[in-house]
Amino acid sequence: MREKLKSFWSRGPRWLVWLKRCLAFAIVWPLITTLLYAFVPVPITNLMIVRLIAGHGLHKTWRSLDDISEDLPRAVIASEDQRFCAHHGVDWAQLMDATHGGKKRPSRGASTISMQVAKNIYLWEGHSYIRKGLEIPLAIYMDAVLSKRRMMEIYLNIVEWAPGVYGAEAAAQLHFGKPASRLNAAESALLAASLPNPIKRIAGRPSPLVLVRANHIRKNMVGTDFLVACLK
């Protein structure tokens, strides 16, 4: 068996051998690093690398969930993924609605927080069924390996909140001049409201559209302890 495996990886034209090894690396890398990310901070993501190459800089400071205001995960869940504590990486009902509801492409509305973490760390931006097809198994695997609390902690530390600005701490300092631990409900709702497009939607200088969305999120945050129960 060992010889057969060795022969498989080395047999064929050089380009095919290279392709097989690249595919193997692409599969093994997320499996191994996700296990590490259960304990250590994510040092950098694919999105950060792409944005850095594009000249947007890299500003981030990792914070544990204990050092982030409780209002922020509540706002993010109310806005992005209200079944975060209930699903196992993929909200199949939302995904089916998005893919069979007359839309030509998968929407952000079908992406759970787990799927967004998988995409930001390992995949690429843009809308395509190819990326979504890779995103789904990655999200399921990551959700199985990581606790919900750890998944949220990673998400709040890698998500982009302005060009080249990642994570709750850097966002809180940039937009509100305070640490993430001191964000209030209104500021948390503004940050959540900007997430669909944080490059154009500026939490610290909200447009009327962002203000309306933030007010809606703020209302959805009231009496929603059951939505964040898995973070306790």
Domain membership of residue 2 as a residue range: 1-37
**Same domain, yes or no: 8 and 60:** no
Q: What is the pLDDT of residues 65-124, one digit of tens each?
A: 999 999 999 999 999 999 999 999 999 888 787 665 544 444 455 789 999 999 999 998
**Same domain, yes or no: 105 and 62:** yes
Q: Is the pLDDT of residue 2 over 70?
A: no
**Same domain, yes or no: 20 and 93:** no
**Same domain, yes or no: 60 and 160:** yes
**Same domain, yes or no: 173 and 106:** yes
State CA 82 to chain mean position distance: 15
**Same domain, yes or no: 68 and 48:** yes
> Residue type at 103?
K
**Same domain, yes or no: 30 and 91:** no
Q: Number of structural domains, the chain? A: 2
Q: What is the pLDDT of residues 45-78, one digit of tens each?
A: 999 999 999 999 999 999 999 999 999 999 999 9
Q: What is the pLDDT of residues 128-172, one digit of tens each?
A: 788 888 899 999 999 999 999 999 999 999 999 999 999 999 999
Report the pLDDT value the prediction gives residue 202, as an integer from 0 to 100. Answer: 92
**Same domain, yes or no: 7 and 76:** no
Distance CA 77, CA 73 (A): 6
DSSP 189-230: HHHHHHTT-TTTS-TTS--HHHHHHHHHHHHHTTT-GGGGGG
Distance CA 65, CA 72 (A): 10
- Place 180 in a pLDDT band, splitting at 50, 70 and 90: very high
Distance CA 226, CA 221 (A): 11
CATH number reported for the structural domain that contains residue 152 in this entry: 1.10.3810.10
Report the pLDDT value the prediction gives residue 48, as an integer from 0 to 100. Answer: 96
Gap between the terminal Cα atoms of the chain: 47
Report the pLDDT value the prediction gives residue 9, as an integer from 0 to 100. Answer: 55
- Place 17 in a pLDDT band, splitting at 50, 70 and 90: low
Report the pLDDT value the prediction gives residue 111, as an integer from 0 to 100. Answer: 87
**Same domain, yes or no: 10 and 87:** no
167: left (phi over 0), alpha (psi -120 to 50) or beta: left
- Which is more confident, 8 or 85? 85
Q: Please state the pTM of the whole predicted model.
A: 0.88
- Which is more confident, 130 or 175? 175
Distance CA 86, CA 228 (A): 10
- Place 186 in a pLDDT band, splitting at 50, 70 and 90: very high
**Same domain, yes or no: 130 and 215:** yes
**Same domain, yes or no: 30 and 104:** no
Residue 221 neighbours by CB under 8 Å, 6+ apart: 71, 74, 75, 78, 185, 188, 189
Report the pLDDT value the prediction gives residue 107, as an integer from 0 to 100. Answer: 44
**Same domain, yes or no: 169 and 126:** yes
